[in-house]
């Protein structure tokens, strides 16, 4: 059985972005005791900027990677607009 309940904070040290703090929540999947889901969200507006900078670095800034970065950026901005 996969224990995936609860919430908390993770602190990661990224080589170029520095300290990134993520809040997490764990959920069990109904009917599947072997599965769980953990959702991570940046803890502060500064952490959001660090995560977006990291994602931009992954995309390479061109073509399909750029479109994927734009989609992720928009999703993060919508998610944290109310924060």
11-62 pLDDT, tens digit each: 988 888 889 999 999 988 889 888 888 899 999 999 998 888 887 776 555 5
Within the chain, residue ranges assigned H as helices are 45-59, 63-80
For residue 79, the model assigns a pLDDT of 63
User: What is the CB neighbour count within 10 angstroms for residue 30?
Assistant: 7
For residue 15, the model assigns a pLDDT of 81
**Distance between CA 41 and CA 9 in Å, rounded?**
9
pTM higher than the cut 0.85: no
For residue 42, the model assigns a pLDDT of 93
H helix or E strand, kind and range, residue 5:
none
Residue pair 12/33 in contact (Cβ under 8 Å)? The answer is no
Is residue 82 scored above 50 in pLDDT?
A: no
């Amino acid at each position: 059985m996969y224990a995936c309940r609860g919430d908390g904070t993770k602190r990661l040290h990224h080589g170029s972005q520095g300290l990134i703090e993520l809040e997490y929540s764990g959920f069990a999947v109904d009917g599947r005791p072997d599965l769980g889901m953990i959702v991570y969200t940046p803890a502060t507006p500064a952490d959001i900027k660090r995560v977006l900078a990291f994602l931009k670095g992954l995309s390479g800034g061109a073509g399909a990677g750029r479109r994927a970065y734009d989609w992720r950026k928009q999703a993060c901005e919508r998610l944290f607009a109310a924060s």
